Amino acid sequence: MLALNGFVQAERVGPVSGEFAAGSLTLLIGPNGSGKSSLLTGAAGLSRSEGKGEVRLAGKALSGFSLHELARHRAMLAQQAVLPHGLRGYELLALGAEPLGGVSEAVCESIARLAGPLGLEKLYQRQLNTLSGGEQQRLLIASTLLQVDPAINSDAQLLLLDEPLAGLDWQHQLACLRLLRGYAEQGLAVVASIHDINMACQYADSIWCLHRGQLAACGGPEVISPELIAEVFEVRVKVMEQDGQRIMLPQE
């Protein structure tokens, strides 16, 4: 779905080549500064003046999409999303629906489907600047998901999220990961950066591990070995098995 061919962004990331496939959830891991945000920004078509190499969405160069087209084909949650001041929760969600022609009955149904898992109901009428960090993040995730909800946007192809789990409690981290899996199962290419390596191994179809701007490993959860973690993160891990699932614990 989204193909990168020799993608380079300034001196931050690349050259990187690979594909985020339709119908799959790819999770990006890597230490601070390894290039995850730079890669996501390039994949979203938000670094046109700095990016080199080819980025193609469903075969078409991303540089050939107008901003309006991009807004219908892909959505991106930035790591430090700026919240418009003075807005209430429901108004932020309405912004997510803007590229779809505004808040229709179908959009309201989509919001209602997101409301349970992301705990939105108590947030609709609240002013954004009075919300906790995690509450703001839940609204930002909802607004991003709404933009490419396959139920209301037939052009939706790609969903990119930079550290969507940051600031979320466990209940909402799991809800968010389940929603991302659901979007992938409906045919989107879903890509998110994440710092919890065990969660990445549990939920991802494919993991991309970045190290100093390069792809250090790429594939199923089995490519994430203690040796790779030691090399990339400079942390020793102990491996445990629980109910057939491998869990890595960092060691002092």
Residue 182 CB, nearest approach to ligand ATP (Å): 25
Neighbours of 77 (CB within 10 A): 21
182 to each of 12, 24, 141, 159, 242, how far by Cα in Å?
Answer: 31, 10, 14, 12, 25
Residue closer to ligand ATP (CB basis): 30 or 89: 30
Residue closer to ligand ATP (CB basis): 37 or 153: 37
User: How many positions of this chain bind ligand ATP (CB under 6 A)?
Assistant: 10
Residue closer to ligand ATP (CB basis): 79 or 186: 79
Give the binding range for ligand ATP (CB under 6 A) out of 32-40, 94-102, 113-121, 201-209: 32-40
* Residue of the chain from 36, 73, 74, 172 that contacts ligand ATP (CB under 6 A): 36
Nearest to 205 by CA among 240, 231, 237, 181: 181
Residue 47 as a binder of ligand ATP (CB under 6 A): the answer is no
Judge whether 92 and 139 are in contact, CB under 8 Å.
yes
Identity at 246, one-letter amino acid code: R
Determine the Cα–Cα distance for residues 24 and 173; give it in Å rounded to an integer.
Answer: 19
What residues numbered 7-26 form the site for ligand ATP, per CB under 6 A?
12
Residue 4 as a binder of ligand ATP (CB under 6 A): the answer is no
Give the binding range for ligand ATP (CB under 6 A) out of 16-24, 28-36, 89-97, 123-131: 28-36
Residue 38 as a binder of ligand ATP (CB under 6 A): the answer is yes
What residues numbered 213-252 form the site for ligand ATP, per CB under 6 A?
none
- Region label for 153, one of left (φ > 0), alpha (ψ between -120 and 50) or beta (otherwise): beta
Residue closer to ligand ATP (CB basis): 113 or 195: 195
Residue closer to ligand ATP (CB basis): 106 or 217: 217
Neighbours of 94 (CB within 10 A): 17
In sign, the C-alpha dihedral spanning 87, 92, 93, 96 is positive
Residue 32 as a binder of ligand ATP (CB under 6 A): the answer is yes
- Structure-token match 């807004």, residue found: 71
